[in-house]
Amino acid sequence: MGVLTSAWLQAERLVLRRALHFTLQPGEWRRGMPAKLTMAKGQTHPKTRYGWKIVYLLTYHLIQFCGHSWISSNIIARILTFGKDSFVDTYYALGAVMCSCQLLSNLEVIHVLTGIERSPFLLRFLQVTERNVILFVVIASQEEMQNKQIVWALFFLWNTLDMIKHPYNMLTNIGSDYHILTWIHHSIWVPLYPLITLAEVIAIYQSLPYFEFYGTNSFVIPGPIRILVHFPYILQFYCLILIGGMYSSCKQFYEERKEYTRKQRFKAE
């Protein structure tokens, strides 16, 4: 929380600088708030779009961090309290908050499209979409899947990744750097992304018998020749997309880590 508080105060200071374009007087910043703001002579209030963009992104990542922190703390508390029994009802206890956070994360695609955040669009689209498919289609649509232990594994892995991602993005948006957090962000994907992909593939294969039995999401294309679209086949093909998405994500993260390592070596010299 100390990192988040520091990030928020720095963001507040940056927004006020851009919004009011004021000059700081000695000793005016105390307890994170200005004691006196003075406009430079002849200056007018400039446009504040960039400043409010920072506020919006900080608010978004802070909300996401709070949501994923709540889920992670409950996962740990439940396993310490109920042991293995907590694996069974993870979705019933935490599913609503997890679904809310995931729905909110769809905004990240819009962020990239509108230029609010810089990221490869296709990569961000695949990352958001694959979790949508697993959470809403594979798990939420099949009640039998909701008491599987793989749901606990997915929730734990997803939230571990997001608890690092969102604080890092908050600091990046205000041009700040916390060395330990940055190093973890550029390293944690190495074990987590293959494990997440493996867990998602397992969840799909565990759901196939239920989609087969109930015929959920299978449909017939009308026409002179009626074509049956069998949804379990689509899910099996989607496993290949997950593997391809993991390769693309890991390749991008590797390039970012290599660039980060190069900068650290340059600083050390």
Catalytic positions = 193, 200
Spatial separation of the C-alpha atoms in residues 233 and 236, rounded to whole Å:
5
| Tokens 């379990």 sit on residue | 232
Structure tokens at 220: 């017939």
Q: What angle do CA 6, 159, 131 make, to 5 degrees?
A: 125
Spatial separation of the C-alpha atoms in residues 37 and 25, rounded to whole Å:
8
Q: For strand 22-23 and strand 29-30, is the pairing parallel, antiparallel, or unpaired? A: unpaired
Dmax (CA) for the chain in angstroms is: 81
What b-and-e string marks burial along 144-177, b requiring 16 or more CB atoms within 10 Å of the CB? ebbebebbbbbbbbbbbbbbbbbbbbbbbbbebe
CA atoms within 13 A on the CB side of 82: 13
Structure tokens at 104: 């909110």
Spatial separation of the C-alpha atoms in residues 233 and 249, rounded to whole Å:
25
Instruction: Give which of 13, 20, 48, 55 is closest to 173, Cα–Cα.
Output: 55
Q: For strand 29-30 and strand 33-34, is the pairing parallel, antiparallel, or unpaired? A: antiparallel
